[in-house]
Amino acid sequence: MRRLLLLVPIATAVLPTLLVGVLAVGLVHAGQTWCTPAPTLTAVPDHLEATTTDGTTVRLDQTQLAHAATIVEVGGRIRGVGRDGLLVALMAGLTESRLRMYANTTTYPASAGFPHDADGADHDSLGIFQVRPTAGWGSVPELMDPAYQVRAFLGGPTGPNHGSPRGLLDIPGWQSLPKGAAAQAVEVSAYPDRYARYEPVAEAILTALTTTPAGDPAPAVAATASTHAPPVTGPPVSETVFPLPAGTWTRTSGFGNRLNPVLHVWRLHAGVDLAAPAGTPILATAAGTVVHAGPLGGLGNAVAITHNSGGQVLVSVYGHIRDHGTHVSVGDQVAAGDWIADVGSSGNSTGPHLHFELRPGGLDHPAIDPTDWLAATHARDTVAALDALPASSPALCSPAPGPATEPTVTKPMAVAA
């Protein structure tokens, strides 16, 4: 096994503790036991059909489902929201805008300068939840940001409006209300009964966005991956290294929902992308056993290694490997820093880079944000090389930015909600 000893960043004395901590966070995420139970976003389907309580069939397209994914992704990180809160938010978005981002050029001509799906004229309402700047919900630029709208609707101690106007978490006893009534308590609509109509549609959306569709090669659970991580074996991880040599890489994309640059659909990007020249050595981030070496859905050629991290299984995944650039086979034992593959651009890729993932529990389990792990393995250059680059998902149970801005798609106003 080839090993690049001179290129491996040194491990620090606190790494064993950090490894256990990162895995513990990942298991909480993957097991859906955050501060309150919340589903884990996996993928955004092309379309979805569901039926309202009165039997009307609703068909949602990719754009609408991308906004629903923003609600799930941002809301799922806010303490106290949980599954019920996400359903309330989805019901409100469906009712107010059919999950589309509305500008309002009649009242706010400047709103046309922000990404939007349609143009409406319902008083001075804006966005997915049709909330109003004059009511104190936020400025026009703020309300034309889907993630800001989600945080404002959900409110709570970390909400941007600090309880005035009230978001969902600012409503005393909202959990005991029917979900339609909870949505009405935030929206204060003249038509209070209309939100409940969309509860089964919201349920269908949440199920679709938090369950990988059959046959979909989503990065978190690739359809072609049939190899599962075995029970944890071997000594616990005591040393970790960054998966690329120092000075060879630039981080280009973080963990989170985004517009896939190849497929042009919104879905979870389940890892971190590190651009590097083709042929750059890819290093095993820790000691372990190779459980996959070959094609892995949209990741192209990939290697997966299972590790014993604090007595729990943790699998590291390395995607978009160069053709004929894999140097290990299933069953191989590797040490931290071993040269396992070469950077390439196989699979759904626009250029040479390493897609790096961490999957607590096994190869067939959902991935977690590996940023903390990468920071721990690159201690000497963390601030300059990681923190100064585009941020990835923040800590659980805190507000988070939504997906990258969508392209502008202007459509005629059909329903002003």
Q: What is the pLDDT of residue 46?
A: 78
In this prediction, residues 127-153 reach a mean pLDDT of 94
Q: Is the pLDDT of residue 312 over 50?
A: yes
Please, which residues bridge with residue 360 across strands? 314
pTM for the whole structure: 0.51
User: Averaged over 240-256, what is the pLDDT?
Assistant: 90
Half-sphere exposure of 130 (CA within 13 A, CB side): 24
Phi first, then psi: give them for residue 346, nearest 5 degrees.
Answer: -75, 160
Which range (87-96, 131-140, 215-224) has the least confidence? 215-224
> What pLDDT does 15 receive?
41
**Cβ contacts of residue 55 below 8 Å, gap of 6+?**
none
For the cut 70, the answer to whether the pLDDT of residue 11 exceeds it is: no
How are beta strands 118-119 and 102-103 bridged, if at all? parallel
Instruction: Tell me which of 114-123, 200-209, 318-327, 369-378 is least confident.
Output: 369-378
pLDDT in tens, 285-298: 999 999 999 998 78
Architecture of domain 250-376: Distorted Sandwich (2.70)
374 vs 410: CA distance, rounded Å: 40
Confidence band, pLDDT 50/70/90 cuts, at residue 375 = confident
Residue 86 has pLDDT above 80, yes or no: yes
- Who's near 64: CB < 8 A, 6+ residues apart? 98, 99, 100
CA distances from residue 310 to 59, 63, 130 in whole angstroms, order as listed? 46, 41, 47
| 36 pLDDT above the threshold of 80 | no
Give the position of tokens 């002003």.
416
Mean pLDDT of all residues in 364-386: 67
Quote the distance between the C-alpha of residue 368 and its chain's center.
9
pLDDT score of 221 more than 60:
no
Q: What length is written for the chain?
A: 417
- Nearest alpha-carbon partner for 129 in 78, 175, 70: 70
265-302: string of b/e by CB count within 10 Å (b at 16+)?
Answer: ebbbbbbbbbbbeeebbbbbbbbbbbbbbbbbbbbbbb
Is residue 225 very low, low, confident or very high in pLDDT (cuts 50, 70, 90)?
very low
